[in-house]
Structure 1
Amino acid sequence: MSTILRSRLDPRSEDYARNVRDFDAKRRVVAEARASAIAGGDARSRQRHAERGKLTARQRVAGLLDPGTPFQEIGQLAGHSVYEQPVPSAALVAGIGVVAGRPAMIVANDATVKGGTYFPLTVRKHLRAQDIARENGLPSIYLVDSGGVFLPMQQDLFPDEHHLGRIFRNIAEMSALGLPQIAAVMGSCTAGGAYIPAMCDETVIVRGTGTVFLGGPQLVRAATGEVVDAETLGGADLHSRVTGVADHIAENDEHALALVRDIAARTAGAPVPAPPAVPRPPLHDPAELAGVVSAGLREHIPAREILARLLDGSEFTEYRSRFGPTMVCGTGHIGGYPVGVLINDGVLFSESAQKATNFIELCAQRDIPLVFLHNINGFMVGAEYEAGGITKHGAKLVNAVSCAAVPKFSVVVGASYGAGNFAMCGRSMGPWQMAMWPSAKSTVVGAEQTATVMALIRSDQLAKEGRTLSPEEEEAIRKPIIDAYEEQAQPLYYAARLWVDAIIDPGQTREWLTLCLATAAGAPRRQTSFGVFRM
């Protein structure tokens, strides 16, 4: 039987006000990075782009979407402060949007950023977008405007299994699965990148600005001595009239987007399914979630206070409420879509892991999507707990998380450390999408614990030599570790490296999850088969 979650939070309290102040500071850091990502290249690059009669990548995406429909962006903060030079959004805009009434994955090169060239994170972001499209059974639309790979980093772009060539392999495989692959060449499409339009099911090219060639004019001249201009070598007339690489000519960007919308309207794909239940707002305001998160994550974050602001009607049917209480499991609805929710309410014990494993089995059997809300320092350690089989029971949970074939979504709302991250469907466990709150943290172990461990190891080494570790030596060990871990634990550090797909505001978590669930509702269903559970 479902129960109504009632909040005990007092928005007038000093604790609430302190939490909001602390959260606002973290929110501002993310907002500054987001503004830089949205702006794209520098002012001069944007001006040159406009002078060529071209829309920006984000304008192209906006022009492609059905009016009034959302765009769920993937990897918006990728590349932030990663390279020596700015590469906002990894020179690529990607996300899920509705085109001609159907959800689609849209990937648009940003030519205002280094000519739209592919850095290592650009490749990873493109591949991530394709993975999401494949899992959700979505068509893919590529708005191409790229100078190819960033040649000084070719060793990180070309030779490996998950480098540039994987993009083309994915296009072929997804087309074979019946997932439409559509391209619009709206600028340069050079070298290996030429295979994107050449391998897609249907391709549009813009007259005067769109070009496709394996080797550009400079490379042709260097290799053969032939002098040829870009339009003659690979322009719209050649590829629509002679080679057949392009199926349609567009007169400008707007015309190209209209043609793509027409192609999307007459290809396979179903509209977003309506939610099976009537969506209802929670009884408690989701905007209050910023006041639930304790400053610096040093205080307990009450799990049910979060659920009361995420679930429709704040209704929750809890599973085994009295057993393994540090893991809260249960079912409810978000945006009208059914969900099985797992949220941490303390450290993981054997009982918590067993309960979560059983709950995941039930959701997989009943085809209920799973939402993991991380706030976990890890599994309980110590001789008593090892003797009680906590490693074995934790492994069962990791097995269940790995193999459950229902849609899985993760949000790090607090901490997410070590094996606890794996058990809560961290990135390596294959969530369909994953996000963090601006106040969240994640590393293999907490900074203080790591620093203490390293200091103890050094102290033990010195003890064997008859020496002791001085306070100054201990601080010299601890401080660099704590500083590095604190930097690497931040959401912006994660998002910049595509370890999560987005940083989302707590108040927008319901909307983000609703978009995830709505998209997944039309995905092909797969049968779950678990690995062997050690008893």
Structure 2
Amino acid sequence: MTNPTDIPILKSKVIKDEAYDKNYKEMLSMISTLNDRLSKATEQGDEKAIKQHLKRGQLLVRDRIDLLLDEDTPFLELCPLAGWNQKDMTLGGSIVAGIGLVCGVECLITGNVPTLFGGSSNEISVAKGARIAAIAKENNLPFIQLIQTGGAKLDQQSKVFHPGGGQFRMLAQRTKLNLPTCSVVFGSSTAGGAYTPALSDYIIMVKNQAQVFLGGPPLVQMAIGEKVDAESLGGGDMHSRKSGVSDQLALDEYDAIKKAREFIGRLNWQKKGKIPVTHLLPKIEEPLYDIDELLGIVSTNIRIPFDANEVITRIVDGSKFMVFKPLYGPNIITGWAYIHGFQVGIIANNNVIFMQEANKATQFIRLCNMMNVPLLFLQNTTGFMVGKEYEEKGIIKAGAHFVNAVSNSQVPAITIMMGASYGAGNYAMCGRAYNPRFLFSWPNSKCSVMGPDQLIGVMDIIMREAADRVGKPVNEKLVAERNKVLRSIVENESDVYWTSSRLLDDGIIDPRMTRVILGFCLSIVYNEKVEGGNLAGASRM
């Protein structure tokens, strides 16, 4: 696969009929809801807090990020809906996080939202921070932290303190790995938060604005009886002249951002991964089919299947796809393509997974590891086939081989949940527990151990069999009430906003943005070497 022009072109078979129009309208409605919620996630506190912040001459966090980024370049925001609809959590965890270009270098950027509860951290802030740190480490990314925080939200101290220490461990490990971290301190960074800049490789503090100390003036007075003002205790000027905590003293916020850009620009940063020659071609071929058509192709009802080939042909370069084992195990599509010039091995579901599908996917993962090619998983499956016939044929063994291959695969993986993601199908198709480099969901997707109808049906059978064994009658009214409650729980917890709120994905995306996001993510993974490995593991023949 050295020449993309030699790859066969996939032909679309889409018919724009009544079902297509229905899907399109329903998906547009879902995307409208998504956009409304993403817009809410960009809010930075109430009007009073914002006015006070601006009155002090300080920039809002999203303006700080905009100034930091190279002009007219993308910013891939991550986990924006973390904490959605969770009690006592701030939407996004009071942190803006994402990947963008700074002086041409792909950097992981985080910024506290100081106008939202003072930028203080809650339980979801810590969980989001851990996920962001993992992305930065796995993808070998420089890390820029824009700091202004009141520390832990005290009414959640037990939920922040214990896991929050992992942030400091992560920063220390980054230094050992020669992964640079730059902290820009715009305001207060107190107590444990003082270690966030202190454990960074480069610290910039804003004059007469930044303050870093283990204990603020009230605590110092209470602990040792010393009266001292905040600036003398931990201001940028003091840390730049006396303690040496600060490496650069910025005159104002604009100067601080300029100094951060200068630091990144002087890193002489080089990607460890060898960029494919095809990515450097003068022109990347666009798909032959309009990606907008995905809205009519994909059903919002996950019980109605759709052909994953129609998705592939709208996201890959030139709609070209070299299919692997096209006549074997048709419910899983495997093959190679290019996305923005990056070669990928694609594994996509056409619903339930049988033995042939599992065997084919296992072999394909091994081949991609042999070829050092990243994997793209397009999930839409109700899981593995069940029943006496399939158990006798060894569906468990085939599934175990598939899961083993995903578990031991060494090439980077990116997962898109584009429909159902149920049971062990989620595992085999590289769900969150299998550490894909990135995982994004479409707004119609659902993820749980099984669908609500199946789960309620299973529980109903178990309950009736238990009653029959002891000779007791079934209270049908009680059963109906229990099933109603259970259905509500399952439907709620499999909803894409519930899972995204709990960081089971890296964001919910408009399907029409899939190709763009994949191209950016593939560029990001090449910051680290892309090398396959031996998939040997437990095997049952």
What TM bracket, shorter-length normalisation? over 0.9
Q: 2-side partners of 1:268 and 1:396: how far apart?
A: 43
CA shift at 1:142, angstroms? 0.7
Q: Kindly indicate whether the alpha-carbon contact (under 8 Å) linking 1:451 and 1:477 is maintained by their aligned counterparts in 2.
A: no
Residue aligning to 2:83: 79
Residue aligning to 2:509: 504
- Is 1:534 aligned to residue 532 of structure 2? no
CA shift at 1:526, angstroms? 4.3
- Any idea what SS the aligned residue of 2:161 has? coil
Higher mean C-alpha displacement, 255-264 vs 163-172? 163-172
CA RMSD of aligned residues (A): 1.5
Residue aligning to 2:244: 244
Higher mean C-alpha displacement, 357-366 vs 194-203? 194-203
Question: Please, what TM-score do these two structures have when normalized by structure 2?
Answer: 0.95
**Equivalent residues in 2 for 1:394-409 (5 A)?**
394-409=399-414
Percentage identity across aligned positions? 38
| Counterpart amino acid of residue 208 in structure 1 | N
CA shift at 1:439, angstroms? 0.8
Residue aligning to 2:94: 91
Q: 2-side partners of 1:15 and 1:93: how far apart?
A: 39
| Counterpart amino acid of residue 218 in structure 2 | Q
Residue aligning to 2:142: 139
Residue aligning to 2:224: 224
Q: 1-side partners of 2:41 and 2:204: how far apart?
A: 27
Residue aligning to 1:149: 152
- Is 1:69 aligned to residue 69 of structure 2? no
Q: 1-side partners of 2:491 and 2:331: how far apart?
A: 26
**Equivalent residues in 2 for 1:295-306 (5 A)?**
295-306=300-311
Q: Which residue of 314, 328, 332 maps to 1:309?
A: 314
Higher mean C-alpha displacement, 43-52 vs 466-475? 466-475
Q: 1-side partners of 2:295 and 2:147: how far apart?
A: 39
CA shift at 1:227, angstroms? 2.6
CA shift at 1:9, angstroms? 1.4
Residue aligning to 2:186: 186
CA shift at 1:276, angstroms? 4.6
Residue aligning to 2:54: 50
Aligned length: 530
- Any idea what SS the aligned residue of 1:280 has? coil
Q: 1-side partners of 2:91 and 2:230: how far apart?
A: 27
| Counterpart amino acid of residue 131 in structure 2 | R
The unaligned stretches of length 5 or more in structure 2 are 1-5
| Counterpart amino acid of residue 153 in structure 1 | Q
Residue deviations 1:219-262 (CA, integer Å, cap 9, x gap): 22332232322111100111000000001111211110000000
Q: 1-side partners of 2:520 and 2:106: how far apart?
A: 11
CA shift at 1:525, angstroms? 3.6
Q: Kindly indicate whether the alpha-carbon contact (under 8 Å) linking 2:148 and 2:185 is maintained by their aligned counterparts in 1.
A: yes
**Equivalent residues in 2 for 1:464-503 (5 A)?**
464-503=469-508
Residue aligning to 2:3: none
The unaligned stretches of length 5 or more in structure 1 are none
Residue aligning to 2:131: 128
Residue deviations 1:251-305 (CA, integer Å, cap 9, x gap): 2111100000001111141279572554211111111111111232221111111
Q: Kindly indicate whether the alpha-carbon contact (under 8 Å) linking 1:75 and 1:94 is maintained by their aligned counterparts in 2.
A: yes
- Any idea what SS the aligned residue of 2:352 has? coil
- Any idea what SS the aligned residue of 1:502 has? coil
Q: 2-side partners of 1:142 and 1:524: how far apart?
A: 25
| Counterpart amino acid of residue 138 in structure 2 | E
Residue deviations 1:59-116 (CA, integer Å, cap 9, x gap): 111110000111111111111111236x121100111111011111111111111111
CA shift at 1:527, angstroms? 4.6
Question: Please, what TM-score do these two structures have when normalized by structure 1?
Answer: 0.96
Residue aligning to 1:454: 459
Q: Which runs of 4+ in 1 moved over 6 A?
A: none
- Any idea what SS the aligned residue of 1:522 has? coil
| Counterpart amino acid of residue 188 in structure 1 | S
Q: Kindly indicate whether the alpha-carbon contact (under 8 Å) linking 1:378 and 1:417 is maintained by their aligned counterparts in 2.
A: yes
- Any idea what SS the aligned residue of 1:40 has? coil
